[in-house]
Amino acid sequence: MQLTLARTVHFRGFGLHSGLPVRMQVAPAPVDHGIVFVRTDLPEGRNRIPATIAHWVAARLCTRLENIDGASVATVEHLMAALAGCGIHNACIRLDGPEVPILDGSAAPFLRSLIAAGLREQRAPVHVIRIVRPIEVRDGDAVARLEPADGVLMSFEIDFPDAAIGHQRKTLDLANGTVLRELGDSRTFCRRADVEAMQAAGLALGGSYDNAVVVEGAEVLSPGGLRHIDEPVRHKMLDALGDLAVAGAPIVGHYTGIRAGHALTGRLLRAVLDDPSCFIRQPCTAELWRRLPGGLRSADALALTA
């Protein structure tokens, strides 16, 4: 069955790239509503932005959605990953600015609040997008690929010159609870050498050591160091999960990213949905439900995100 929240949850913070303050609430929504953003600072009737691939636009260093009236919302990937990780299919997200708050740079604050609010089953079936033929996109040495699998699997590989990151590779089955246990608390990261360039380009204006892992060579500059020895690759997997969530339905398949970013994963998703020969839509069986992200309940889930 489809899931929504049992009650509304509230967040307040700053946009990572805009630096602007933002207030946001994630509210329950009816069956087949999907995930929809509503910009409360924009005129009614032109401020609704569904989180679907039709509204995805290429952007630097984040995932951005935009409607036909030009209303947009950026840096949605961590929240989208949290919703997917909890198995939430329907939600209305109201915010008074152009960017989702970055909070601590991970999905953990979203996950904790969503799970504490509780989930409500709805009387409608879940449909999934099952990959039946491999498909990939490339950009130089960066690759994003989806291929058939019996569940939701993800592999990611990164390679940075800074010894604090270096070469990292990880594969996970994202069945119930994995997102919370393995990926949720991993923060966005950057190299110190890139910070000034990003800010000169009008990006990362809200970035700080409190909401990002900053490295320089072999040194982690953020207080407290890394939460996991391979936190960067875990965060890239979290980003990819959030990017894939704009498909509008869970994707059953094996995603592989090699040096992939938001833009390449978005291109892959668009290529998949533009090619009906590589996927089928089907109802989610009880057996398949157990292979999807999400579905954890109350105390067990809260213990994982404490």
Pairing type for strands 251-258 and 142-147 reads antiparallel
| DSSP states along 106-168 | SSHHHHHHHHHH-EEE-SS--EEEEE-S-EEEEETTEEEEEE--SSEEEEEEEE-SSTTT-EE
| Active site (annotated) includes residue 254 | no
Helix (H) or strand (E) holding 169: strand 167-173
From CA 196, how far away is CA 182, in angstroms rounded? 31
Name the catalytic one among 17, 55, 89, 262: 262
From CA 226, how far away is CA 187, in angstroms rounded? 9
Q: Is 75 left (phi over 0), alpha (psi -120 to 50) or beta?
A: left
Other beta carbons less than 10 A from residue 118's beta carbon: 13
> Tokens 């700080």 identify what position?
208
Using CA atoms of 231, 253, 84, 263 in order, give the dihedral in degrees to the nearest 10: 70
Please check whether residue 35 is in contact with residue 22, taking contact to mean a CB–CB distance below 8 angstroms. Answer: no
> Could you give the residue numbers annotated as active site?
262
